[in-house]
Amino acid sequence: MMNVDTLVAGGTIVTADATYCADIGVRDGRICWIGDGGNATNISAGHRIDAAGHLVIPGGVDPHVHLEASSQGQRTADDFRSGTEAAALGGTTTVIDFAYQQPQLSLAESVQTRRALAEGAALTDFGFHLVLNDISESHLEELRDVVADGICTFKIYLAYPRRGLMADDATLFRALDFSRRLGALCLVHAENGVVNDVLVDRAIAAGRTGPNQHELTRPAISETEGTYRSLALARLAGAPVYFVHVSSADSLTEILRARERGQVAVGETCIHYLMIDRTRYELPGFEPAKYVMNPPLRQSSDVSALWHALRLGQLQVVSTDHCPFDFHGQKDVGIDNFSLIPNGVPGIRHRIELLYSEGVARHRLGLNQWVSLVSTGPARLMGLAEKGRINVGADADLVVFDPATQWTITQAGHHMDVDYSAYEGYKVTGRVVHVLRRGELIVRDGMLVPGVAAGRFVPRSDPVAM
């Protein structure tokens, strides 16, 4: 007789490469046994979860979130607690946020400052990317120490020069080169921030100050130029490169061309670029401010191109870039000047369910592709060896998912601490029922389980660029 803490019984297991009926035994936070469905007679379980008629998938990994972060003098509506509670309700058990290089701190201290905010607060497990905006040759050894401490991804912004975030080409090249030397991975926010600011200044000078101007001053060609430039420097450095929030067909084309040349170039898109398009900027009054994020929403043809790329495996990750600001009291500081609207859109709660509903249920994606995009792909790419998979020895991050339930998204019920939803009124097929994080039940019957322990910082290493 085998003793387990929890038995997940009767479900259909879906991983990135297989679908089969089996039971899962969990002990000490890890998967300890996987057996043919219905053959758990020799298992003694302290707790049993009935997954009959449901899918069982690895816990989601969202590699792109902004919690308890500041932008243009505003702090995000979600902190580490509220944001990760919403993530857990949506089936995400690990998030990766950002630690920003601070001029008065070492790189390690910059990471520790952010980590301290999440420790004891985050419900999910968590990690950080290190944002670099100004590095020299002398930073190599500092970065080596950061990688040794479990931060194996660096992020470069090619936007926001006036906020002190934009890296110049020298820093971009060094980040790519150093990441190759250190076995890390460089993430790039691809735009041309300097040109964007010229367009913003011209719009404001001409009296065009409404929120619809955001889209017009951050055109798709700006993203494409930043993508092309980054690929050129990655080729020079001989380094892989990961593009966050790919939003346009032309940027995707540059990534595919680079792969044809033999480069390793990874593409991530976000759930909002798959669900909604630039027509949101045609809404009346100040409503378009709800959709002010970077890059902006694109044409419907770009949306179609992204779905096509997912189906063909040309994009590897669907994230949220969750960065919520209240419509009333935060976004409206820019009511007379669109450039003051804090950039970002909420989405951490609904990523897995929306991708199932719009992808799998509408026959755009297969079940295994869905799991790869929301869990296994980001886990491998981000160096989370024990996440994103259902194997003996892996962390018991498991989601029991009802593929048939139909429901409607509302702001009142979305559990994010923000006063609007980008998907208000959307009819969704499929819903998260139960969630285990390292074997501990944190969501039961679609509700948070009270009194569970906080999530942990997860050191990462050896990111696998596909």
In one letter, which amino acid is 402?
D
Strands 398-408 and 317-319, by their bridges, are unpaired
Contact 435, 49 (CB under 8 A): no
Domain chopping of the chain, boundaries: 59-381
Q: Give CA 294 to chain center in angstroms.
A: 14
What DSSP string describes 230-294? Answer: HHHHHHHHT--EEESS---HHHHHHHHHHHHTT--EEEEEEHHHHH--GGGGGSSTTGGGGG--S
Strands (E), 28-120: 30-36, 43-50, 55-58, 60-62, 70-71, 74-75, 92-100
Rounded CA-CA distance 408/143 in Å is 45
Cα separation of 199 and 193, whole Å?
10
Q: DSSP for 377-395?
A: HHHHHTT-TTSS--STTSB
8 A C-beta contact, residue 292 and residue 343? yes
Average confidence (pLDDT) over 160-188: 97
Cβ atoms within 10 Å of 141's Cβ, excluding its own: 9
268 DSSP β-pair partners = 317
Q: Give every CB contact of residue 14 below 8 A, 6+ residues apart in sequence.
A: 55, 56, 57, 367, 368, 370, 371
Model confidence band, residue 44 (pLDDT cutoffs 50, 70, 90): confident
Degrees to nearest 5, angle at CA 267 with 95 and 301: 115
Per-residue pLDDT tens digits for 114-173: 999 999 999 999 999 999 999 999 999 999 999 999 999 999 999 999 999 999 999 999
**Which fold, 59-381?**
TIM Barrel (3.20.20)
- The reply to whether the predicted model has a pTM over 0.95 is yes
434 strand-pairing partners: 400
The mean per-residue pLDDT over the stretch 403-407 comes to 98
pLDDT at 219 over 60: yes
Query: What average pLDDT does the segment 198-203 reach?
Result: 99
Does residue 39 surpass a pLDDT of 70?
no
Give the bridge partners for 75, in sequence order.
70
